[in-house]
């Protein structure tokens, strides 16, 4: 788990700063508001112009941990194309 968090944290640290800020916001509130999108667009433009002050983004300790659900179950697959091993007309 610790390795996963450090890998993802490193990956995000190599992304543009506005993306790091967007990821941090999504981890804190799970959905971006219209205001967030407007602010992120401004940050993106500032970064492109070289006028965005450098800040450090940090992720919450639980950012990349398994959620309460912990299990994902695939109930069906349909309209599959381009995969020879699966029959595209048969829902499973």
In degrees and rounded to multiples of 5, residue 39 shows phi and psi of -65, -40
User: For residue 30, what pLDDT is reported?
Assistant: 77
Mean per-residue pLDDT, 16-28: 89
Encoded tokens for 34 = 């219209």
The rounded distance, in Å, linking the Cα atoms of 79 and 56 is: 44
C-alpha count within 13 angstroms, C-beta hemisphere, residue 48: 6
Condensed to tens digits (0 to 9), the pLDDT of residues 36-84 reads 999 999 999 999 999 998 887 777 767 766 665 556 677 887 776 666 6
Mean per-residue pLDDT, 18-38: 89
pTM value surpassing 0.75: no
């Amino acid at each position: 788990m610790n390795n996963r968090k450090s890998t993802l944290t490193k990956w995000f640290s190599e992304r543009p700063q506005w993306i790091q800020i967007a990821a941090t916001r999504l981890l804190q509130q799970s959905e971006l508001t219209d205001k967030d999108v407007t602010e992120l667009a401004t940050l993106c433009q500032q970064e492109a112009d070289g006028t965005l002050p450098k800040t450090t983004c940090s992720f919450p300790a639980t950012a990349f941990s398994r959620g309460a659900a912990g299990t994902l179950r695939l109930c069906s697959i349909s309209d599959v194309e381009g995969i020879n091993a699966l029959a595209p007309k048969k829902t499973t």
